[in-house]
Structure 1
């Protein structure tokens, strides 16, 4: 039997726009159980850990993927059962994984309804990048209240434009602003509303790069900074700085060496070599090598910059989740209970 291609399964599941990265990871691991020939719990957990490792190796940003893998493997390890045999247990785990993913798709609606109570009529909201749960919240608010939305471009991926187009199509007044114009518009904003890649054990937020500086500016302007996050994005990760994130690597924000240009053609070099005297060869020169004129593309900039950043918990006002509205400290307490069985 050929080995189960978990990353192919993950990409196939992720093609559904309603499925987020952690849920796709959970469903891919569920399929791995279905295709596994493990005969004991030890073998099954090892297969799941190996599958999670394979997913992480092939993902450019494994943070939210890790959250889903971690949650599902903990569930399998702690799952109470009275199955007559291991085959029945595997069937039950597959069913539970599928049922959880189906239920998790309702979480955005719960979060939108919870956050709706914090949005007043006439609110001016600043959001960053693109988030499905933020979109659902804004569209719900638009049905019952008058709101206006500033949307950042969110370079390098530029997903803020996708948000603005969807809001405009739904009739929500929205304006795209430069990432560098956040401080300029902050005085007009009532609060900031962002999604999340993950909410970590410190209560901090991992989200599209630029979220951290928006939170800093919001704090300086005394404006609330709210994050929306499904509970399957809660992640046992404790970064102390941006450089502790698993997505960080040595290529990000590196200083590439300038390229040296050819100072002469091979023909000129041959002619010079044939006529050069011994005195000329031994005399030092003050000439400096020429540099290639820089041609910097947007792709080069994107490759040299991070996709996500970390926002400290003290900059976050509240985290709205399907398990309630939590302070950053509340997230830490919930995570402890979540993984304690």
Structure 2
């Protein structure tokens, strides 16, 4: 989504009639807001938009005219998107030495960068390892990760989200992807990542976050409730018992399941504090959470 946002804003510049930098940046900010309004989880998209707008405002150039400048910005945007396609391969290569032979890895839900790194370690790195992946309710995206790894010949088992503490004693390292890595050095990812990091910290198991640099986001949440995805409906309690709907009974398999209304009152992402993260693997290198903070400050300072 961040790459799609950068492409969209690049296209906006190509068709813009702006004659000054002020007009161009205003158009980009308006376009970014429009994109954010059309997604329920704008975090990673916002990271891409903010990154591109910061690039435009700090871009050093020697263009003879504003038209030439816009053309160069479009070229640079397209070039960045092309280079960004190699981000996951760079991260996979950096991670290789951190996966010991015969190790057991725990991952959460489905992350394309994590899956890419595991496939790379198995095929190119000839690493031998096994994987536990959480089911990741309510969407069950962990089953997608499971199928990809099994098809590649990597031993994998799906575990309940509530079984992470039970399984952690068998785990050598934890790998998670990211929606965004924020200015504090913390991580925004699929809900359940925070409790996984807490458990890994308590068990003294390394917790590694994998994040493409276009997911570095200049935001500084202090708690779960500072995330832009949080609203008053999430974790809301009923005002009266009469408003509570009983969970529906499944016809073929008589077991209780959450209603759509109950699912919608749960968060989709959570915030993992930087002190719980061992290292962040990115296409710009292996960083500590403090290193992410320094990189973001430098990037937005031009």
TM range (shorter): over 0.9
- Pairs within 5 Å for 1:115-264: 115-143=95-123, 144-258=126-240, 260=242
Aligned to 1:339: 300
Give the CA deviation at 1:41.
1.1
Q: Secondary structure at the match of 2:98?
A: coil
Query: Which residue in the other structure is 2:48 paired with?
Result: 68
Query: Tell me, which stretches of 5 or more residues in structure 1 are unaligned?
Result: 1-20, 261-290
CA contact (8 A) 1:156 1:307 kept: no
CA distance in 1, matches of 2:142, 2:228: 24
Is residue 175–residue 209 contact of structure 2 (8 Å, CA) maintained in 1?
yes
TM-score (norm. length: structure 2):
0.93
> Relative to structure 1, is the Cα distance of residues 36 and 259 closer, same or farther in structure 2, using a 3 angstrom cutoff?
farther
- Secondary structure of the equivalent of 1:97? helix
State the secondary structure of the residue aligned to 2:131: strand
- 1-side partners of 2:291 and 2:11: how far apart? 33
CA offsets per residue over residues 199-240 of structure 1, 9 Å max, x none?
Answer: 011110000000000000001111000000111111111000
Structure possessing the higher radius of gyration over alpha carbons: 1
Q: Are residues 146 and 340 of structure 1, via their aligned partners in 2, closer, same or farther at CA, if it must alter by over 3 Å?
A: same
Q: CA deviation at 1:293?
A: 6.2
Deviations 1:52-74 (A, max 9, x none): 11112222111111110100000
Specify whether residues 76 and 145 from structure 1 end up closer, same or farther in structure 2 by C-alpha distance, changes over 3 A only.
Answer: same
Which of 72, 76, 88 does residue 68 from structure 2 map onto?
88
Deviation at 1:118, TM superposition (A): 0.4
Q: Which residue of 2 aligns with 1:295?
A: 247
TM-superposed CA distance for 1:292, in Å, is 7.1
SS at match of 1:117: helix
Q: Distance in 1 between matches of 2:168 and 2:22?
A: 53
Preserved CA contact (<8 Å) 2:185 2:289: yes
The total of aligned residue pairs comes to: 291
Distance 1:307 1:194 in 2: 15
- CA deviation vs aligned residue, 1:284-308 (integer Å, no higher than 9, x gap): xxxxxxx876135442232111110
Moved more, 293-302 or 81-90: 293-302
Query: Which residue matches 1:13?
Result: none
Q: Any idea what SS the aligned residue of 2:167 has? A: helix
Residue of structure 1 aligned with 2:278, choices 297, 304, 317: 317
Offset, 1:336: 1.1
- Note the alpha carbon deviations across 1:252-308, whole angstroms, 9 max, x for none: 111234574xxxxxxxxxxxxxxxxxxxxxxxxxxxxxx876135442232111110
Shift of 1:194: 0.4
Gaps spanning 5+ residues in structure 2: where?
249-257
Structure 1 residues 34-113: aligned runs within 5 Å: 34-113=14-93
Q: Secondary structure at the match of 1:219?
A: helix
Segment drifting more, 92-101 vs 31-40: 31-40
